[in-house]
Amino acid sequence: MASFDPFLAISGQRKSWQIAEFFATAKPHMDRLFSTASQLDLPKSYGRALEFGCGAGRFLRHFEKRFSEVWGVDVSTTMIDLATEYNPRCNFHLNTTGDLQFFETAILI
């Protein structure tokens, strides 16, 4: 799907997305995530964030505002290329396995 239409693969909507509009769809989800996390007194620190299945990176820019280091991981080269283009300050990894062993244990804590 990512090779054919990456924004359809992410959103499930067939339409001509304006990039700003597409990325704006993440805000209500991230607001809810951070609100719920805050109620749970989480996270304990803002050092690193990891999004597994980052797609084109529409959620990463919200993590970037709070965390000093942000990683996006995906199985699709197309998605990693898009995420890198739209989130140049993040780190990315194309995952070709079913686990996260490429990260040192310490990075995931």
pLDDT by 10s per residue, the chain, length 109:
666 566 666 666 666 778 888 889 899 999 999 999 999 999 888 999 999 999 999 999 999 999 999 999 999 999 999 999 999 999 999 998 877 787 776 554 4
Q: What are phi and psi of 69, to 5 degrees?
A: -135, 130
- Strand-strand pairing, 69-74 and 91-94: parallel
Distance CA(47)–CA(105), nearest Å, equals 15
- For residue 14, the model assigns a pLDDT of 66
User: Please, what are the domains in the chain?
Assistant: 17-108 (3.40.50.150)
Q: What is the CA radius of gyration of the chain?
A: 14
Distance CA(5)–CA(9), nearest Å, equals 6
Q: What are phi and psi of 19, to 5 degrees?
A: -55, -45
**0.85 cut: is pTM over it?**
no
- For residue 13, the model assigns a pLDDT of 66
